[in-house]
Copies of this chain bind each other. A is one copy, B any other.
Amino acid sequence: INIVVLPGDGIGPEVTAQAVACLTELSAERDLGLRFSEHDFGGVAIDRHGLPLPEATLEACRNADAVILGAVGGDKWNDAAERPEAGLLKLREELGLFANLRPARVLEALQDVSPLRPDISKGADILIVRELTSGIYFGERSSAHDAASDVCSYTREEIERIAHVAFRAAEHRRHKVTSVDKANVLATSKLWRETVTEVAKSYPGVELEHMYVDACAMVLITNPRRFDVILTENMFGDILSDELSVIGGSIGLLGSASVGSGGPGLFEPIHGSAPQIAGLNVANPAGAIASAVMMLEELGLGDSGRLLASALETTLLEGCRTSDLGGDASCSEFGEQVRENLR
């Protein structure tokens, strides 16, 4: 099993190193046959090759069984012709990764670091299903000196396929989908609501509710337990999933999977490259490790995935915490502790 690793920028390399070390350990113990190869991507690829997604990197990803990504971006490349983020968008598009899955759970052991009151956050367990290869991220852009525009568009088919992902996920969870849009204003949102309502008919066991994005931004904080699966378009998903991420205590805890129809998936923590703490060995590798768990599941190695997930959870329960969680474990100490718990 051939895994491409794109460490990327900022804290990307240090957190992916810990995730890869965990996977290597697991692979050896359980004879999974995972093989890793690193490639340049993001700002570091701009520095070395002049563009964020070099052809060789894209080729390697296409031929891989899965791709692990750290993080990309940083002020350093603000004026690059093509920014690191453009490389990420291109990679998502080229690999056809239209479905971004971002699960967030409030662990009892970490309730003290959630900014929410414990009675509100307790037990929240939400999966955001974000459409990832369309909407305003991929519409036509125009920029002149005195004006600029971005187009948000969606086809019915694009909405249908992401809706199916959400409903199927809900069937294995608590059977509820909240579809988030701004149908009182946007044409794309009206099509979104209509199409999702149509798709819902094929899933009689799943309850569907619609919610406006502004209301959702509130309810995520006042009553997160009300949600099971949240289904939404690209830009709303970007905002809501970051908002959701802190409810569990730190964005550093969360992983994500981006998948499409058949090819390799992309697995990355949802945090950014955090240049200000890069290289200090203080970043939280939990999000990268959680992404590795999602990768194992996606590769059909769910048993191994559960082992790694429980080693990660045990590490957190034991009180091993990086600085984002108010602790003083280093990035590598945390990773080592997860591997210790794997053994």
A interface list, Cβ under 8 A from B: 73, 83, 85, 89, 114-117, 120, 136-137, 139, 141-143, 145-157, 182, 184-188, 190-191, 213-215, 217-218, 220-222, 235-236, 238-243, 245-247, 251, 272
Contacting residues, chain B, for A184 (C-beta < 8 A): 73, 83, 85
Distance between A30 CB and nearest chain B CB, rounded to angstroms: 36
Q: Roughly how many angstroms separate A214 CA and B240 CA in the complex, as a whole number?
A: 8
- State whether B153 touches A157 (Cβ < 8 A): no
- State whether B242 touches A188 (Cβ < 8 A): no
- State whether B188 touches A217 (Cβ < 8 A): no
- State whether A152 touches B152 (Cβ < 8 A): yes
Choose from B114, B137, B152, B156 the contact partner of A150 (Cβ within 8 Å).
B152
- State whether B191 touches A147 (Cβ < 8 A): yes
Contacting residues, chain B, for A120 (C-beta < 8 A): 115
- State whether A151 touches B154 (Cβ < 8 A): no
Contacting residues, chain B, for A137 (C-beta < 8 A): 185
Other than the given A115-B221, A151-B152, 13 more pairs (CB < 8 A) read A85-B185, A116-B117, A137-B185, A146-B156, A146-B157, A147-B154, A148-B190, A149-B154, A150-B153, A150-B188, A151-B151, A213-B239, A218-B251
- State whether A185 touches B239 (Cβ < 8 A): no
Choose from B185, B221, B246, B247 the contact partner of A246 (Cβ within 8 Å).
B221
- State whether B149 touches A153 (Cβ < 8 A): yes
Contacting residues, chain B, for A185 (C-beta < 8 A): 85, 89, 136-137
Distance between A141 CB and nearest chain B CB, rounded to angstroms: 4
Choose from B147, B188, B218, B243 the contact partner of A149 (Cβ within 8 Å).
B188
Q: Roughly how many angstroms separate A205 CA and B187 CA in the complex, as a whole number?
A: 42
- State whether B243 touches A221 (Cβ < 8 A): yes
Distance between A328 CB and nearest chain B CB, rounded to angstroms: 19
Contacting residues, chain B, for A213 (C-beta < 8 A): 238-239
Known: A136-B186, A147-B153, A150-B186. A217 touches B239 (CB 8 A): yes
A-B contact pairs, 18 of them (CB 8 A): A117-B117, A139-B149, A146-B156, A146-B157, A147-B156, A147-B191, A148-B188, A149-B187, A149-B188, A150-B153, A150-B187, A152-B152, A182-B235, A217-B239, A217-B240, A218-B251, A221-B246, A239-B239
